[in-house]
Chain A
């Protein structure tokens, strides 16, 4: 990353060069020197295959750490130390294929890079020694084939696997491939090219680019990003802010965390672009408590970007200055709401504000503020890198690009997948994620997190986009898909979600504070077999009120799981009310019956 010789014009951060990023990839541009050129080429090769030509990449992210990636990393380190092999060990982020965690990848020049799934510390020695002897038959998948290794043609490449082939990886293209703590690996893979391109354009042109790419906010509401940016740009104010919302309050949402953990620089790049487009000089990233690793890596990314003149004063010689600060606080469900997030950054209790005034006119500390989800900002970086024309061809007519979805629940292949907007939910659930595990049958899919709602399996043939889903009474939300199998009770799930909202409601407005509590007590009544037919009507009436009357989107979304499960699974509610029986045998109503009979 540093200058190659004294002739190199670039001297970060005091003397930044507009061509710095291109220079790192196509190397050296400001002077022609065969020695420097060779130095760059050698460095690029080293990044790919390590100093000794063999490299082991260990995926370290929250998802892999949870299943023992730290032990695997230690086992590899010990093995390499003891055996004295010349192998580089590198930490990478995660692909999002959570069913293969913990995974490692072994690369060697001239051989196919092999990914090994569900690695245990004991297997490490066997995997590495076999790979070094040219045998990849035990691998889970290969990145590409070279034809040199034994058993190569018995192992699929990633592109042959349906869950990889059906994805379009734009923002997550670096996830699992680069070391999240190395700015160099990010730059070599085309990082900060988007920023370099944006800084050569005028801010209006950047916004125009975002508009033509049809980018809509990935946080859930799907508000066109360019309108938000333009509104803030048109505000006259000495100070403006960019805020990145990295707080995922939704249970079973983990795509943002994966993105920030695996590729923090893309967020940094997106924020600088947003700041340049709207004329802000300061950005904040809000990370909740579950984002410790993400915050740590992001901090490193910010430090490194500053070191090389990509952040701070006079970015890439353009005269534009931008700074990013991480705010980490106890995250809760309401913190994900944009105005509550602002309150929390200001150091207050995280309750939503009354709108208008909207944050675009009066946001953080009363100044115009753009608040975007981290994924939206990452998309902005991708758009500026690739150009809008390529980006807009992916996705639907009204909404371009891709969306990262977190798939979990009763499913064969849980994980984070990036799919074009407009992909049907059936494709994601059945093709990419593999459907229900053996012996189970899916009943419903929870779309868009707790405030999204349930869809029966018969209805999931619909495209995942911002316009179709609301017609069916669900929402895109944070891109959560949770598969529900037949052994789950919809009444119980509705009750659980309502209990979640009761504990997470901030208590500011009456309908949410009291309404959720009342709905919970009605649902508890139904699930314990004391419900009546009127209770269903009451739930619907309360739900409609909450949908209309609450102060913020989280309150408006609170009744949706209940309303959608009443809409699509009324027979289950009737079984609880009329027959006093829980078809799945989960609610206490049927447990009592079992005890009575036994």
Chain B
């Protein structure tokens, strides 16, 4: 076809308009790609570095800004791209104020989707809980361990009406735990009962000691 550029993405050949970027070709090839550009209102300057793809010469380039050229080959899921992507997202989350239980993006958060995809821990069940915040089990007076528990199960128990028992283990980021504990207290739970509930699944977890210390400080 004339006026089209042939690009190979992970071995799949696609044709895209000249002047477009590698990310367009990746989308056209139907390969899921991590990138923040999907959150439309964000600044675009190839600065989140999540969509890095590897060129055959071993260079990592951002797919959202690298222009396509005929015969270009890119690889989206090499060990190196996955490693850097994982670390970069981890860094992004490290300075993210994780407070999913009151976040308006609840259930529709791009960070959570990417974190689950890249197997990153540190996001609470609440992020996946499809319930609207008004109907949060905590608001109903049920002691749910969602804010303290690592996400990844798609909040199965709360979604089906039961509360979260924390079977996936605790979040170990202290600032998140402290914020969650404050939330419990605001809603009228005593921290003693939170700890007691948590001990059911976490009694052998090394974080429990620290968790109790944090609860004392709140």
- Contact surface of A with B, Cβ cutoff 8 Å: 354, 356-357, 508-511, 514-515, 517-518, 541-542, 544-545, 548-551
Proximity bits, B10-53, A CB within 8 Å = 1, else 0: 00000000000000000000000000000000000111111010
A515 to chain B: which residues have CB within 8 Å?
87, 91
Q: With A508-B45, A510-B49 in contact, is A548–B80 under 8 Å at CB?
A: yes
B52 & A510 in contact (Cβ 8 Å cutoff): no
Measured between alpha carbons, how far is A174 from B83 in the docked complex, in Å? 51
Least Cβ–Cβ distance between A361 and chain B, in angstroms: 11
Q: With A511-B49, A548-B52 in contact, is A354–B65 under 8 Å at CB?
A: yes
B60 to chain A: which residues have CB within 8 Å?
548-549
Least Cβ–Cβ distance between A1 and chain B, in angstroms: 50
A509 to chain B: which residues have CB within 8 Å?
46-49
A549 & B92 in contact (Cβ 8 Å cutoff): no
Q: CB < 8 Å: which of B52, B62, B80 contacts A354?
A: B62
SS of B interface (majority): mixed
B65 to chain A: which residues have CB within 8 Å?
354
B50 to chain A: which residues have CB within 8 Å?
510
The residues in B between 153 and 200 inclusive whose CB is less than 8 angstroms from any CB of A are none
A510 & B84 in contact (Cβ 8 Å cutoff): no
Q: CB < 8 Å: which of B49, B66, B67, B95 contacts A549?
A: B49
The answer to whether the Cβ of B139 comes within 8 Å of any Cβ in the partner chain is no
A-B pairs with beta carbons under 8 Å apart, 18 shown: A354-B46, A357-B67, A508-B47, A509-B47, A510-B49, A510-B88, A510-B92, A511-B49, A511-B88, A518-B94, A542-B91, A545-B83, A545-B84, A548-B52, A548-B80, A549-B84, A549-B87, A551-B49
A514 & B92 in contact (Cβ 8 Å cutoff): yes
Measured between alpha carbons, how far is A514 from B62 in the docked complex, in Å? 18
A545 to chain B: which residues have CB within 8 Å?
83-84, 87-88
Least Cβ–Cβ distance between A471 and chain B, in angstroms: 15
Measured between alpha carbons, how far is A356 from B52 in the docked complex, in Å? 14
Measured between alpha carbons, how far is A541 from B85 in the docked complex, in Å? 12
B60's closest neighbor in chain A, by CB?
Answer: A548
A549 & B46 in contact (Cβ 8 Å cutoff): no
Q: With A356-B67, A518-B94 in contact, is A549–B88 under 8 Å at CB?
A: yes
B95 & A514 in contact (Cβ 8 Å cutoff): yes
A514 & B49 in contact (Cβ 8 Å cutoff): no
A354 & B94 in contact (Cβ 8 Å cutoff): no
Q: CB < 8 Å: which of A514, A548, A551 contacts B84?
A: A548
A510 & B67 in contact (Cβ 8 Å cutoff): no
Q: CB < 8 Å: which of B45, B46, B87, B92 contacts A542?
A: B87
Least Cβ–Cβ distance between B179 and chain A, in angstroms: 20
A549 to chain B: which residues have CB within 8 Å?
49, 52, 60, 84, 87-88
Measured between alpha carbons, how far is A509 from B49 in the docked complex, in Å? 7
Interface centre among A354, A542, A549, A550 (most CB of B within 10 A): A549
B52's closest neighbor in chain A, by CB?
Answer: A549
Least Cβ–Cβ distance between B56 and chain A, in angstroms: 16
Least Cβ–Cβ distance between B197 and chain A, in angstroms: 30
Least Cβ–Cβ distance between A534 and chain B, in angstroms: 13
B66 & A510 in contact (Cβ 8 Å cutoff): no
B52 to chain A: which residues have CB within 8 Å?
548-549
B95 to chain A: which residues have CB within 8 Å?
514, 517
Least Cβ–Cβ distance between B89 and chain A, in angstroms: 9
A518 & B91 in contact (Cβ 8 Å cutoff): yes
With A357-B67, A514-B91, A548-B60 given, can you name 5 additional A-B contacts, CB distance below 8 Å? A354-B46, A549-B60, A549-B84, A549-B87, A551-B49
Measured between alpha carbons, how far is A241 from B46 in the docked complex, in Å? 26
Least Cβ–Cβ distance between A474 and chain B, in angstroms: 20
